[in-house]
Amino acid sequence: MKKLTFIFFLSILCFVKSQTKVAGTYHVSSGNPDDGGYNWVLLDSHDFAMFTFGQIIAGKWSIDNKNVITFKPNIPQYPFDVYGRFDPKVKGTKIMFSNFNGNEDAFIGNSEQGIQPVLSPDANCLPYPLLKEFNDQFKDILLSVSSYNQEKATFYKADFQKYNDFIVTYYSSSVMVKPFTAELKDDKLYFERKERPSSERKDIKPEELKEFEMYLSQGTSSEPKESIVGNKSYNIISYGIGESQEKFDEETFLKFNYKYDPSTEIYTAKNKYNVPKDDAYHDLNTLYKYHRIELKTNQNSYQKSNKSIFNITCKN
């Protein structure tokens, strides 16, 4: 019996030793010594984050018996999100465009009037907020993005009854990343460009774990929030004053610091913040609640104009 027990534990030990260790940090060079390359963090929880200059991709990883790792990024269901509220001061329709850029063609409009490009192809030096107030009261919002692999355009339609002030967020192709793979060999990751593998895997130090978890929290979420809160300059509250993001509890922050009027859905600071008059972006004395509007897809035909809403370029 003792011999059988010893053999059993020996087999377990051999099995554990045979398991490939994946969790750790890896670095992939971009070929440009000035941009820092691509930094990968894979946790034992099967969460991962890739962070580079100006971009964070987070999601889940899994590995098969051939040491091929599949990365599944957290991405939104659609390339747009729409949030709205009712503002009695707005007579038509006001839209703030978030994350739009001139490198990708995105369109907006409504089912009655059709769609038009948000930005001209050469648009740059965009102001913040990128805001447009239309004279007409929209009954719905239509959104679309150019796709070269689709024969017929897909439209994303937001229906609403009572809203007239909107935040429309666009998720570019750099965010809408499909699942991809890498081979783990000799403690290195080999992606599509196999001639440029990652550095050897390094164990994650305990003091590094919190920092890496912060990167994970900053990656795009596949689960959009049902409501967001922002000020009159569309500064969306993502973390509290003086608080690090991983410690921030939005509900507690608002309840402790603001009075809420459910009839207007406006938050008013209990103790007024001292903010310069010309710094509206950081004025958090009054906050407004926006509700997420569900998008529905269709491939109907709509009138299309080539005239862009914004044609903004840098002044020489």
State both tokens at 240: 């509290």
**CATH 2.40.128.500 residue ranges for the chain:** 2-74+176-218
Whether CATH 3.40.50.720 fits 2-74+176-218 = no
- List the strands of the sheet with 38-42, edge to edge: 24-28, 38-42, 47-52, 55-63, 68-73, 180-185, 188-190
Residue-by-residue DSSP string for the chain: -HHHHHHHHHHHHHHHHHSPP--EEEEE--S-TTS--EEEEE-TTSEEEEEETTEEEEEEEEE-TTSEEEEEE---SSSEEEEEE--TT-SSEEEEEES--TTS-EEEEETTTEEEESB-TT--S--SSEEEEESS--SEEEEEE--TT-SS--EEEEE-SS--EEEEEE--TTTSPPPEEEEEETTEEE-SSTTSPPPPPBPPPHHHHHHHHHHHHHSPPSS--SEEEE-TT--B--S-TT--GGG--HHHHHHHHEEEETTTTEEEESS-----TT-GGG--SEEEEEEE--EEEE-----B----SB------
pTM score over 0.75: yes
pLDDT < 50 regions, the chain:
1-2, 4-19, 240-245
What does the pLDDT read at residue 115? 95
Residue 305 CA: distances (Å) to CA of 161, 212, 287:
25, 45, 35
Structural contact between residues 168 and 141, judged by C-beta atoms closer than 8 angstroms: yes
Residue 305 has a CB neighbour count (10 Å cut-off) of: 13
What does the pLDDT read at residue 193? 74
Residues 24-75: tens digit of each pLDDT: 999 998 777 767 788 999 999 999 988 887 778 888 999 999 999 999 998 8
Structural contact between residues 20 and 67, judged by C-beta atoms closer than 8 angstroms: yes
What does the pLDDT read at residue 2? 47
Residue 39 to residue 37: CA distance in whole angstroms: 7
What does the pLDDT read at residue 248? 65
Q: In the beta sheet, which residues pair with residue 159?
A: 140
What does the pLDDT read at residue 151? 66
Residues 72-91: tens digit of each pLDDT: 998 888 999 999 999 999 99
What does the pLDDT read at residue 148? 58
